[in-house]
Structure 1
Amino acid sequence: MDSSVHVHVEDVRGEGLEPVLDRITGYGVTGVTVAAACRRTRDVTPHGASRMTVRGEGVHFTPPADLFGESRLVPPVQDGAGQEPLAALRRATAERGLRLHGWAPFLCGSALGEAGPGVAVRDCFGDPGATTDLCPSHPDVRRYAVALGRAVARQGVDSVVAEGLHFGPFPQGCPHERSFVPLGPMDAFLFGLCFCDFCLGRAADLGVNAEAARRECARIVGGVLDGDPPAQGEVTRAALTAYAGPEVVAYARARSETVTSLVSEVSAAVADEGSRLVFLDGTGAVKGHADGLPSPGLAAHDAWQLGVDLVALGDLVPSLGAFAYARDPARIADDVGAYRRSTGKDRDLRVVLRPGPPDTDSADRLAAKVRAVRAAGAGAVDFFAYGLLPYPVLDRIRGALAS
């Protein structure tokens, strides 16, 4: 079974390339997935050079001039990128017979949202949403995503792992975010829909009354903000139709065309550079990130909420990935099985597990999850993330793969 460990460049810089790869090789994995680009985070790093690592937003390589020279959106460059850490990692993994995958968040980044006014999402009131969420309908954002895919592929990676190449949820976690108004799941979903001019136009081209959908969202969300009780229950198409009406559901479903066409463009560009795209659906991370206790709806069935049409992408993308952030191995098996049925049996499916908290409390539980992933038909399992976990937790990987 193909497998990898996610690492950050700061992990390698702090501990040394060879010691990090010695440990990772000892886990029995077949590859390394490196953060070729990173969003702004503050991480507790138990065995890093610093026990707290503040990561900047940007890429760990020099953006190629032919890709970004005329672009309105150019990724920030991380300190130390001139030392070519990805090239060094590529050479070292090749010497050890390990695959190297380049992982990058595509449509999230406050620096990009602030540098390019109008490229972030806009809510049903016409107000800017989180500057960290770039809108996949915007032409400049779409060109940026294609260029980023090409740029990561040029680092010589076996695959480009694209995270966030779809619409984001509401809220996605802006710094110092505050909301003292209780929003139900459906209210939050409506508040998170993008109604920028490009989204409105693309939906209208598909025959949706986009303006009517926007007005209805503004009426419902505005009422909750004014004190109406929030709606309860999970977001399903049937529940949303009853709550907000068919035009809103049609508008939400129309977003899948935006995402599907963008992923297709990025995949073609990555293939043109001699690599392959792994489209990583973020639904499982949204559902289980905080505590490993996702709501009952399976991730594959709820992916439409982020504009992800797994059936369509299964025909377009050679490899898809899913976050399995759940405590229960049986739930993971159900999630992976649903992805497999949606994407088709001939498509490579990678599943991301967390070896430690908040959803894995023992070596036995991790081993049970790996067995569940295998039994459900996934072809690869990846472990997140080397620098964030103590060594004893990382050591669980070896036994889980051997089991």
Structure 2
Amino acid sequence: MPPQTRSASLYTFPSDLVDDGVARVIDDARAGGFDTLAVALAYHQARDVLPHPRGPRLRYRRDGVFFEPDSEKWANSPMRPSVQSAQERAAVAELLAAPDRPAVESWTVFLHNTGLGEQHPSAATENCFGDRILSNLCPAAPLARAYARALADDVSSRGLDVVAEALSQQTFGHGHHHERSFAPVSAGDETLMSLCFCEACIDRAGDVDTASLAARCRERVDAAWAGAAALPATRDALVDAIGDDLLGFLAARERAVTELAGEVAAIVRSRGQRLAFMDLTGAVLGYDDGRPQGAPAADQAWRLAIDPAAVASAVDAYAVLGYAQDPARLHDDVASVRAAIGGCELRVILRPGHPDTTSASHWREKEAAAIAAGADRVDAYNYGMAPEHVLARLERG
């Protein structure tokens, strides 16, 4: 009897297609009951451990796209993507040409791109100290917005739906190569360090005195480094510490993300495809240990300048990262998003192994919790970085 299939995606790198072979990846996806492969067609720098025995044990990823860009699509964008290896691009082409393959969608990283940040620092986040966070392109910056629109056009014109990762603001704490800090601060202070005060963000802030706001953020972070008590990452706590005008600034950030998501979605739809917006709040909360803390995920999305209700109204699907060990916490996080986004399609992405999931039964319990909380589908992240015994947890008879 063939495996039971359901509407779900298995996240996959082009390097997996090279290392394991296109046919093997397709077979493994089917064994897990997945009807779709979400293949990274634009990705960022990383060093990944690959425990499969059929290829190298380490992959050094770089910024760039896994296809040859269409020059016409990039005519209005001064920022152009780097192109990944010919071997990986050929593997993607082989998958797309396979006669009996699952559906393929483009897992597309938009504004997390250190190489482009280094080439175009004016498009990168500028924190309250005037330092550029080069791994994080700002969704309000005109150069970054033009890049996002061109990338969406180029990918979707290839007949692929788009899963948009990093189409929002990002955090200070994760994204660059070999990050180091021997002066850790609380989650609230890190949130202040993540705020962008670039020219575009200042322009969008309207009547907010951004110079004064940035100065107060600097004073608070300096106080944290000097040993001040921890600051929770809640809007109320930050307003108490910084001032009421912070709320207007946060609202302007959210409007920039919502507008960009809508622009990108419109382009993708014009090509006859669908856009799923990936909300990375779950990674901010549970990436390291699978133990998210604080308010449910939807109530913390503002830290990435995401208004879930507004974004969901502009896109075709809304994807969240369910990086949580506890099925009850996962249920609450997913339920909070469902309540915020209404009837928009809701996708939940789970990790089948470390640090979130311990067994096949644990995976099933979390999958059921997500669906009970309102998820329309449950996807798995990801193929190449999971040991084979972890992939086996996904198999359906």
Question: 2:187 — aligned with what?
Answer: 185
Task: Kindly provide the amino acid, as one letter, of the partner of residue 367 in structure 1.
Answer: R
Deviation of 1:83 (Å): 5.0
The aligned counterpart of 1:389 is 386
What's the counterpart of residue 371 of structure 2?
374
Are positions 1:213 and 2:210 aligned together?
Answer: no
Q: Supply the AA of the counterpart residue of 1:18.
A: A
From 127, 131, 135, the equivalent of 2:134 is: 131
Tell me the equivalent position of 1:327. Answer: 325
CA distance in 1 between counterparts of 2:89 and 2:165 reads: 25
Give unmatched runs, 5+ long, in structure 1: none
Aligned partner letter, 2:270? D
Matched, 1:161 2:163: yes
Equivalent of 2:115 in 96, 111, 116? 111
The alignment's TM-score, normalised by the length of structure 1, stands at 0.93
CA contact (8 A) 1:2 1:380 kept: yes
Q: Is the 8 A contact 1:187 1:230 kept in 2?
A: no
1:140 and 2:143 are equivalent in the alignment: yes
User: Does structure 2 conserve the Cα–Cα contact (< 8 Å) formed by 1:332 and 1:369?
Assistant: yes
Deviations 1:295-333 (A, max 9, x none): 122111100111101111122111000000000111111
C-alpha distance in structure 2 between counterparts of 1:285 and 1:224, whole Å: 24
| 1:246 is the counterpart of 2:257 | no
Distance 1:44 1:149 in 2: 29
How much does 1:99 deviate? 1.8
Amino acid in structure 2 at the alignment position of 1:388:
M
CA contact (8 A) 2:14 2:88 kept: no
Q: In the aligned structure 1, how far is the partner of 2:386 from the partner of 2:317?
A: 27
Q: Which residue of 1 aligns with 2:49?
A: 44
Work out the CA distance in 2 between the residues paired with 1:99 and 1:371. Answer: 24
Contact kept in structure 2, 1:87 and 1:155, CA below 8 Å: no
> CA 1:40–1:147 in structure 2 vs 1: closer, same or farther (change >3 Å)?
same
In the alignment, which residue of structure 1 is the partner of 2:97?
91
Q: Is the 8 A contact 1:278 1:321 kept in 2?
A: yes
Deviations 1:132-190 (A, max 9, x none): 10011110100000111111112322x20000100001222422222222312211111
Quickly say closer, same or farther: Cα 1:338–1:49, change in 2 above 3 A. same
**Shift in Å at residue 81 of structure 1?**
6.5
| Contact 2:320–2:347 (8 Å) recurs in 1 | yes
Task: Flag structure 2 segments of 5+ consecutive residues without an equivalent.
Answer: 1-5
Matched, 1:262 2:265: no
In 1: Cα distance, 2:353 partner to 2:380 partner: 10
Equivalent-residue separation in structure 2 for 1:331 and 1:184 (angstroms): 22
- The amino acid across from 2:218 in the alignment is A
1:357 to 339, 350, 354: 354
Partner of 1:27: 32
Secondary structure at the residue paired with 2:121?
A: coil
Q: 1:29 & 1:22 partners in 2: Cα distance?
A: 10
Any idea what SS the aligned residue of 1:295 has? Answer: coil
CA RMSD of superposed structures (Å): 1.6
Give, as a single letter, the amino acid of the residue that structure 2 aligns with 1:117.
P
Which residue of 2 is the match for residue 198 of structure 1? 200
Superposed displacement of residue 230, structure 1? 4.2
**Which portions of structure 1, spanning 4 or more consecutive aligned residues, are displaced by more than 6 angstroms?**
none
Report the Cα distance in structure 2 between the residues aligned to 1:165 and 1:81, rounded to whole angstroms.
28
SS in 1 for 2:9: strand
1:295 pairs, out of 293, 296, 303, with 293
1:369–1:217: structure 2 CA closer, same or farther, 3 Å change rule?
A: same
- Shift, 1:231, TM fit: 2.5
Find the counterpart in structure 1 of residue 3 from structure 2: none
Deviations 1:16-40 (A, max 9, x none): 1112111111111111110011111
Q: CA deviation at 1:126?
A: 1.7
Match of 1:306 among 304, 307, 310: 304
Find the aligned partners of 2:35 and 2:181 in 1 and give their Cα distance. 44
Superposed, 1:219-230 pairs within 5 Å as 219-225=219-225, 227-230=226-229
| Distance of 1:228 and 1:141 partners within structure 2 | 36
- The worse-fitting range, judged by mean Cα deviation, of 385-394 and 242-251 is 242-251
